[in-house]
Structures are given as C-alpha cells and as structure tokens.
Amino acid sequence: MLKSYNQEKLNALRSQFPFFTYEYFSYLLDSQGLKLKYHFNLSDRYHFFPELFFPRKGWQIDENGLEAILPVLVFHIGMVELISYWKAACPAKVIIKPAGLLPSQVQWWNKLYHQGLGEFIYLNSLDLTGDSMMEIETRGEEPVSFKCKTDPDSGIIPVGGGKDSAVTLDILKKEMKVLPLGLNTRKAMSAVIAAAGLSQDNSFLISRTIDPLLLELNSKGFLNGHTPFSALLGFISLLAAGLTGIKYIALSNESSANEATIPGTSINHQYSKSLEFEMDFRTYVSTYITRDIEYFSFLRPLSELQISWLFSRLSAYHKVFRSCNAGSDTDSWCGECPKCLFTFIILSPFLGIPGVKAIFGRNLLDEPVFSGIFDQLTGAAEEKPFDCIGTQNEINLALCELIRQEGDRELPLLLKNYKASEQFGTFRNISFRDSLKNYMPNCLPARFEGILKNALYD
C-alpha cells in the first residue's frame, strides 16, 4: 500500500513540477573569506538560494590562477548541492545553465544521482530507475580543466569528530603539514582537532546554509531523504585544496563502506564513501578538473576492526570523539541509535567493556531495548541499519572475540543471547587476530601506503 501511495505522490509531483533548473552560482572572495551562493529553480514555483562560506583564518590563499580555479570548482559544488533540492519533487528534467557538460560527464553525474539516492528511492518506495529518473540538459560552455601549483608535503584532512578522522589526523600530522577541514563545525570536531594538538585558527572551517524553504516544503509533505553527502564534501575539499595550494585530500573512509546496506542490491547508505565512488571521483577530477590535486581515502585498506585497534591506542581522543549523528547537536552519545551500539561493539575487544562503558556512561550490551538493532547489526535481521557502520562480518568477529575475552564472567544480556545464536556458531572459530592483518584494495599514493603500514604494523 505504501509503495502504491508513494508512487502516486511521486507521479503527482513530477506532473506538477516538470523541470528543475540550476540557474547560476556566484562567489565573492574578500578579506573575510570566500562566500558561495547558488540559485536553484523548481519549475518557476520555488526558488532556493543555499550558501557556503569559507572564512579566512590561518590558512593562506594562493592567489595565482584563482580566476581559472574558482569558476570550475564552485560550479561543481553546485552540481552536488542541487540534489538536496531536486529530490523534493524529483522533476523529470534537470537544466544546467551555468556551464555545459560533455556526454561522458553527464553519464558520470547520472550514476552519482542514481547510486547516491539509492537509499532515498528505496525508503520512499519510488520507481526511479534508469532513464526514468531524470534527463540532464546542459547549456553554456564546458568548464576548462586547470593547472595549479601544489605543495606535495601537505594534506587536507576532513574531520567529522568521529574515531576514523581522528586516526587519520593523528597519523598524518606527524608526517606532513596538515590542514583540518570541518563542515558546519560542531564541538566534537573542534575537540578532536584540539586533541591532535592543532588549532582551529589553522583549520578550514566551512559553514553551509540550507535554504529554509526546503525545510518548509519537507514539512508540507514533499519528498525527503538521504543524499550523497560525502560527494559534496569531496568537491568542497577540492575547492579548499585549490585555494590553499595543498596537493592531497586524505579522507577517512574504510573498506567497510563498500558493503551494501540491503544485501543482494547496490543500495548502500555509504555509497559516496565507497571505493567505487572514490575511484569514479578520482577519474572525474583528473579528466575534467585538474591533475594537480589528489583525493583518496587514507583508511581505505582497513576494516572498522583495524581502525578501532589503532584508535584504542589514542587515549587523548577517547573522551572527546563522537560518532553519533542523533546526538551531534548536543555533542553527546544518544545511546539509542545503531551508530552508538555499533561503536560500543567495535571498540569493546580493544578497550574492554569497562573501557567502552566509560565512554558511553553505561553498558549498551546489557539493555534489551537494543535487541532489534543488535539483530540488524549481526545479520540476524534481513537489513542492516541505514547508518555509517561496519560490515556484519566485522561485528560478529568483534562479538565472538569479546565473548572469548570475558571467559567465565557473567555476560551482559545481548552477549548472552548472542552466544546461543546461529551467528556465534558461524563466526566463533574464525581467527580474530588474522582479521587484523587484512589489507584491502585502495587508491593510496605510495608514500601514504608506507605511512599507514608503519602505523598498522609498528
């Protein structure tokens, strides 16, 4: 019934709003920083004007060649930003006015929109597949790729406030000049940067403003859902690198992000964090934008288990990191969501239950309210949670290792139930130690691969 209703709603919206236009972008660089503004048009009925602001602090702008760099990079940020506004009604035609795109570029964007909105389409029960999703029409001249002088001993590190970016930041700060980058900075981001011994005054802290009209439309029943945020972060990071002359952008996406959220499909909550997207993004940037800036994920060869192993040694971050999206506004662990339970589980083999309990304030494995989420995490349920979590294999291995470590001690409720489950029987004899030796396909430049291996196997 829901599928039928939502499809009728989609059809009505597409009939009422047949086109969506990327009208223009503008930018202003002055002593305060760089301000970006966009104009999106939903069928001449609603107009949106989102903004981003890159404040000047300790970072230095390389003024050379900005007239070539800014139009290209600002335009491309708008190509991702528009997704949030297009999805309100999913018009069949998207018109791009500020610049033209080659057919191969249109194909690239079509893939990003399809795959990056996979969760949105699935959870809203929409029929938006193949060519039926949208037709992209571009007007104007194609953006011209540019050359820029970059410093090969420097790197931009996007920091989200969680354990993964803390690991990347802590390792790379010892090897090169690093510039932490935060988008809509929250307390955990600032605290992680400070724990690394770095200053916010020497960080790239960007603010992004969503047009309130979009929130108003959402409240009126227009369509809403997950978008490929990490793709937006990728293009924003490119602009930060172009402004500062920094060569490398080192993300903190791990191999676990490659696993589909819905088994047997390509629907992945973390699509824009996956290796597939990373490779596509690198190809697009080097072909159509610049060969002088290199984007990759520093933690891509590793699993969530290995990252947690590294993080367990970094006690300076244990009290300040936050990986909970629900509690991000209050800088807290909500203690109710899949991300909280996953983080508790994945750190437990390395910090022990008392160590992780000290982070969360209570033992989440002893709370029956988590039973349903626990089943989703371990694979006892059909679907994984739509959240940035590790693979079901990693979670099961962590739980089996934790049970082994607990020995004859009384197990918390969820662990006790798990010990009697089919998953425990399947994973109990798989070597946990061997799982910490895995090294997955990646795009790391040779220098960074050496740095990561030294940190992992030192």
pTM: 0.96
What confidence score (pLDDT) does residue 366 get?
97
> What b/e sequence results for 78-113 when a residue is b if at least 16 CB atoms lie within 10 Å of its CB, and e otherwise?
bbbbbbbbbbbbbbbebbbbbbebeeebbebbbebb
The size of the chain, in residues, is 458
d(CA 154, CA 402): 39
Q: Give residue-wise pLDDT tens across range 411-421.
A: 999 999 999 99
The pLDDT profile of the chain, 458 residues, written as one tens digit per residue, is: 456 668 899 999 999 999 999 999 999 998 889 999 999 999 999 999 999 999 887 666 666 678 889 999 999 999 999 999 999 999 999 999 999 999 999 999 999 999 999 999 999 999 997 777 999 999 888 888 999 889 999 999 999 999 999 999 999 999 999 999 999 999 999 999 999 999 888 899 999 999 999 999 999 999 999 999 999 999 999 999 999 999 999 999 999 999 999 988 999 999 999 999 999 999 999 999 999 999 999 999 999 999 999 999 999 999 999 999 888 888 899 999 999 999 999 999 999 999 999 999 999 999 999 999 999 999 999 899 999 999 999 999 999 999 999 999 999 999 999 999 999 999 999 999 999 999 999 999 999 999 999 999 87
Does residue 379 come out as left (phi exceeding 0), alpha (psi in the -120 to 50 range) or beta?
A: left
Task: Please give the biggest Cα pair distance in the chain.
Answer: 71
What confidence score (pLDDT) does residue 61 get?
66
What confidence score (pLDDT) does residue 278 get?
98
d(CA 104, CA 100): 12
Question: What residues have CB less than 8 Å from 438, skipping those under 6 apart?
Answer: 255, 302, 303, 306
Q: What six digits make up the tokens of 203?
A: 């960080």
3-state DSSP assignment of residue 228:
coil
Q: Where do the domains of the chain lie? A: 2-297, 323-435
